[in-house]
Amino acid sequence: MNFFGVLFVSNFLLASSKQVVISNILPRLDRDGKYVDAHDGCLVKFNNTYFIYGTVYGECHQSTTVCDGVCGYLNNTFALYTSSDLVNWTLINNNIVPEVTQDHNYINYWMPNVGYNVHTKQYVMIYWSSRYGFKNSVIALAVSSTPYGPFVNVPPLEMQGGKRISDTTSLFVDDDNTAYVRYNTRDAPLRHIIEKLSPDWMTTTGQFSIIFEKQDFPWYDGGGTFKRKDIYYTMLSFDCCFCQWGSDARTFATTDILGNWTYIGQLNYCADGKIPPDHVSDMYINPCSINNTFGTNFTVPAQQFNVATLPVSSEETLYMYYGERFRSSKDGMKGHDFQAWIPIEFTTNDTLLPLKFYSNFTVNIQEIFHT
């Protein structure tokens, strides 16, 4: 670790610049040397601390190249880890929504997404629950007065853009603190929708836009939504149920989040450089190797769940692809699977570049210290 100098900020605060290396090939461990078991959720920054909210998959073994309906499905809880530098992580709680333990032996829980509402002073979590998913248009909602939880369930959101929500949900908070939920639907045509919430984030306004829709398989999972230079981006991918080959990153953009979205290109090619096909017959087929599930993977062999938008200093924001590399752990335990943290890169004229898999990359982190 190299320090690049110290800047006096006020009578009470000091800021220092610290260069850190983010690894995608070394296990991510907490300060006690244990695996960070927090998956498919979000990585966010509140004040000067980074928070990972994620699903605890546990120490089961996934038996096939895709999901088996048991490992990673049952007995899940939601964990919270924190860090000041994106490298050294501390486990705060491995069950920050205690109510899920009442029925998680038969209800599936995934994808905790947390934002802070500056008006209500509440931290708000949406998450996917099989209590609602595939059944109706409802999304689970929980709140806490602090980012450390515990989060308590409140009446869920009933979305207006679809009759049956499918398998992914995520939360996006705009610069003006307006919150939106992005979700996909199972009622035809299959759609990805972004819908605006009320100022307190407790209900929907009913205003939504359709990012993308199609009539046939494969439907698409959600990746992440982010904003850069007044342009909104959403990344979607082939439905991939814990698959080991990963998935693509079809990217859409707009200057009006509730307006028309435009497809701007594929960002995650197959590892051999080929563009993945538009259609495969079902979710058990590797799009990059149609006849061999153990063949060519995607360049980033992960299923994307989010984009982390992290102000790492007063001058720089890191936009980072955030995905799960299923069946990647050395010991075969699902809770030990690697995540892919991949910087999203742009050309000098602000065009998105195709993703590259980085074994590691360097970030300059500004840390704030109280004196």
Q: Where are the domains of the chain?
A: 20-370
Residue 98: phi and psi, rounded to 5, are -55, -30
Supply the pLDDT for residue 314: 77
Distance from C-alpha of 368 to C-alpha of 371, rounded to nearest angstrom:
10
Supply the pLDDT for residue 6: 38
CB 337 within 8 A of CB 324: yes
Which residues of the chain are under the pLDDT cut of 50? 1-10
Mean of all residue pLDDT scores within the chain? 92
Length of the chain equals: 371
Distance from C-alpha of 292 to C-alpha of 158, rounded to nearest angstrom:
41
Residue 342 CB partners (closer than 8 Å, separation 6+): 24, 300, 320, 321, 323, 355, 356, 357, 358
- Helix/strand/coil for 14: strand
Measured between alpha carbons, how far is residue 110 from residues 8, 277, 305, 339 in Å?
42, 28, 10, 15
Distance from C-alpha of 175 to C-alpha of 170, rounded to nearest angstrom:
17
Distance from C-alpha of 13 to C-alpha of 27, rounded to nearest angstrom:
33
Question: Using H for helix, E for strand and C for coil, what is the string for 52-111?
Answer: EEEEECCCCECCCCCCCCCCCCCCCEEEEEEECCCCCEEEEECCCCHHHHHCCCCCCEEE
pTM value > 0.85:
yes
Domain made up of 20-370: CATH architecture? 5 Propeller (2.115)
CB 140 within 8 A of CB 126: yes
Count other Cβ atoms within 10 Å, centred on residue 350: 9
* Bridge partners, 367 (sequence order): 16
Instruction: Tell me whether the omega of the peptide bond preceding residue 301 falls within 30 degrees of 0, making it cis.
Output: no
CB 278 within 8 A of CB 237: no
Distance from C-alpha of 89 to C-alpha of 49, rounded to nearest angstrom:
11
Supply the pLDDT for residue 155: 98
CB 314 within 8 A of CB 366: yes
Supply the pLDDT for residue 370: 57
Measured between alpha carbons, how far is residue 306 from residues 5, 20, 69, 260, 303 in Å?
33, 22, 22, 21, 10
Hunting for tokens 């908070």 — which residue is that?
173
Token pair recorded at residue 41: 């959720």
Supply the pLDDT for residue 4: 36
Supply the pLDDT for residue 230: 96
Supply the pLDDT for residue 239: 84
Residue 100: phi and psi, rounded to 5, are -65, -25
Radius of gyration of the chain (CA): 20
Residue 354 CB partners (closer than 8 Å, separation 6+): 266, 267, 268, 269, 299
CB 288 within 8 A of CB 298: yes
Distance from C-alpha of 36 to C-alpha of 153, rounded to nearest angstrom:
25
Distance from C-alpha of 224 to C-alpha of 240, rounded to nearest angstrom:
15
